[in-house]
Structure 1
Amino acid sequence: MKFGKRILSAILAVSMALTFVLTGCSSEESGNSTAASGGSAADKKLSVAILLNGTLGDKAFFDSAANGAKMMESELGCTTKVIEMTADETKWIPALTDASENPDYDIIIVGTWQMTEKLEQIAEQYPDKKYIIFDSSVDYKDGKCPNVYSIEYKQNECAFLAGVAGALTTKTGKIGFVGGMENTVINDFLVGYIQGAKAANPNIKVLTSYVGNFTDTAHAKELTLAQINQGADIVFQCASNAGLGVIDGCAQKQKYVIGVDSDQALAFQSSDPTKAQYILTSALKRVDISITTAVKEAQAGTLKYGKSETLGLAENCVGLGTYNKAVTKDVQDKITEFSKKIQSGSIKVDTAFGKSTSEIEAVKASVKP
């Protein structure tokens, strides 16, 4: 798939010498569509705080958000501050409150479903402050949260392509999935992954495990080794920091791992090339591009607060990263074909959103060894 090769070499580059143009393609979901007030990008440089409900170093989701801060500085001239709130939930409301009371911050950015209710609470208390939430959406019913812009992703689309890659590359006919905490977003990855794998190989088998959190690398590695012992030779990790344990386990057993959120092959290329060689590809969720695009619109006075938008393959905000040499040209061509069919609408990718627990379990059971 050309998407990965065309723009992803810049994801983690310290220089941030970006050459592509940021665009704001999206599809409206809900909200009031109230545009931000302010001057043009030429005369208004914003100060942005990005509050992470975790820590940097995952080489994936949170690192992508931090990379967005660098993009805002280099492309938009913004002043940014990345704040690691850690995984300790008791710190999240105080940190969000402190940022909201800081007059220096024009926009405050948070992410994930774990921050949704907390942001709804704080946004109501600080109606003059502007907020962006990524990978989740606040509740806009009855005119709530007119000062919040929400970004959601079609992670099921990139996961579908990851499933195709896995199913067409496996030698054992068994592939794995290790999620962090089981929730709708993680299961959206899973549902898309299974659908893509079955589309490429109707006889594929998929092992599924959850760490129970996004931080326990040791347990994630244990789950990975257990799947490998059951015959999986490719494991897709969707577990943020805990996913580093999946990568470690696969490298130890010389099996392939599919990374998530950022191009993890590039992330490990210089720091740990041994692990990098076992990363088959990565299912990308371009947090960096999406939040930078939103801030660019806010800076121009065109960002529509009070609404949620969902970004996918068509908007270049999800896709696959660098391919390992194990992914043959024929497989890459087939992935590209599937991608085109998804974007044209001839393939409708299934989603975990709106599915009951029993329906999710049925999806898992359909490919259980």
Structure 2
Amino acid sequence: MFKKSYWLLVVAVFLLGLLALGGCGQQKAAEQPSPQEEGTQGGEGSEKLKVALVLPGPINDNGWNATAYEGLKAMEQELGAEVSYTENVSQSDQEEIMRGYAEQGYDIIIAHGFQFEGAAQKVAPQFTESIFVINNGSVAKDNVCSLVVDNYQIGFLQGAVAAILSKSNKVAAIGGEEMPPIRETLDGFVDGAKYVNPNIDVKTAMTGSFSDVAKMKEMTLSLIDQGCDVVMGDANQASLGAIQAAQERKVLAIGYGADLNGVAPDTVVTSVVQSWAQAMVAFGKIVQEGQYEPKIYYMGVKEGAVYLAPFHGFEDKLSAEVKEKINQVVEDVKSGKAGIKPDR
């Protein structure tokens, strides 16, 4: 059982589950969403961008929308961008809000979630001087592109670390609902584990739920009982069940999306963190440098959008050889030697 003191941290962390869903669920919209303009910072001499962010929910949700707002603030601070945002944008208001920013001459209009794809594709042809970006989208044409934090690389690093740490030669990854971001993470996990050890037994499963913690725990316990000694859950708040199962059976867990060591310090050896802030800053630099192309931008280890969290209490428990192997995998992914999805 988790100590009661962990629960507030657990709730806050797992609300970040965006992480995997990529903005699938839309928040209830405000009746009249209005742009919020913010100040401009940055050094002199840099080309100033005007960047607008369109959000399906509130910036203070401690989850999907908050991650994008953090990215907008990072673009303001690191790129000297002039920024504005509109939160709680309903589907019926999407076109109007994006059109309004384009009419004001914003260079980059970022819509946070694939549910904005249709509206962006309708508005974009009328404003060819603006670039419309769909976070976690799958479209790319002319002045519309998609920005994705690379779920495959997240899974790849998790799988590689799991294989390096495993003593039983069996590891497991359990997802929530069947959808592309989750499937990509699990595919990456398998490939990462096999990259380290081609003969390792990698088990994967889906619970079919992002909220059923008990089902995740039950499925993870079953896999642990089959010999898996390192596990990973990718199912938003339901991922807690995987950590609970690992803690109960005294095996290791690897966190997804955020640093989850605080949830179970003696169980979560490390986590693979995704950063929308770094992804958005990296894209802003591409635009500033005049290198924009209409494509899907996958931001991963190289861009700092995917990275390993510290080992915390495991720092002194892991041998120098183990840590060297893990660091080498990170470098291989960063250099492009490994961790590139085959169909890209």
Question: When the two structures are superposed, what TM-score results if normalisation uses the length of structure 1?
Answer: 0.63
2:325 to 334, 337, 340: 334
Q: 2:296 aligns with which of 308, 313, 334?
A: 308
Residue 131 of structure 1: aligned partner: 132
Residues 10-159 of structure 1 aligned to structure 2 (within 5 Å): 46-51=51-56, 56-57=61-62, 64-75=67-78, 76=80, 78-81=82-85, 83=87, 93-94=91-92, 96-97=94-95, 99-100=97-98, 102-103=100-101, 106=106, 107-111=108-112, 114-115=114-115, 118-125=116-123, 127-128=126-127, 130-140=131-141, 146-159=142-155
Q: CA deviation at 1:62?
A: 5.9
C-alpha contact (below 8 Å) 1:188/1:353 kept by paired residues: no
Residue segments in structure 2 that go unaligned for 5+ positions in a row: 1-11, 13-44
Q: Alpha-carbon deviation of 1:149?
A: 3.0
Q: Could you give the per-residue CA deviations for residues 223-262 of structure 1, whole angstroms, max 9, x where no partner exists?
A: 3333334333322222334334433443454433212233
Give how far 1:320 is off: 2.0
Deviation at 1:42? Answer: 6.2
Q: Secondary structure in 2 aligned to 1:132? A: strand
Aligned mates of 1:199, 1:206 — CA distance in 2:
12
* Alignment pair present for 1:257 and 2:253: yes
Residue 342 of structure 1: CA displacement? 4.2
Aligned twin of 1:212: 208
Q: Is this contact kept in 2: 1:132–1:149, CA < 8 A?
A: yes
Give the Å deviation of 1:287: 1.9
Aligned partner of 2:281 in structure 1 is 292
Letter aligned with residue 280 of structure 2: I
Contact 2:71 2:281 in 1 (8 A): yes
Residue identity matched to 2:341: T
Contact 2:170 2:201 (C-alpha < 8 Å) held by counterparts = yes
Alignment correspondent of 2:175: 179
Mapped to 2, the partners of 1:289 and 1:205 lie a distance apart of 34
Whether 1:351 and 2:341 are equivalent positions in the alignment is: yes
* Cα 1:284–1:44 shift into 2, 3 Å: closer
Unmatched runs of 5 consecutive residues or more in structure 1 = 1-11, 13-39, 86-90, 141-145, 266-272, 355-369
Separation in 2, partners of 1:308, 1:296: 16
Residue 51 of structure 1, CA deviation? 3.6
Match of 2:137, SS state, is: coil
**TM-score, normalising length from structure 2?**
0.67
State the partner residue of 2:20. Answer: none
Q: Tell me the matched-pair count.
A: 292
Q: CA deviation at 1:333?
A: 0.5
Q: What SS does the aligned partner of 1:313 have?
A: coil
Show the counterpart of 2:233: 237
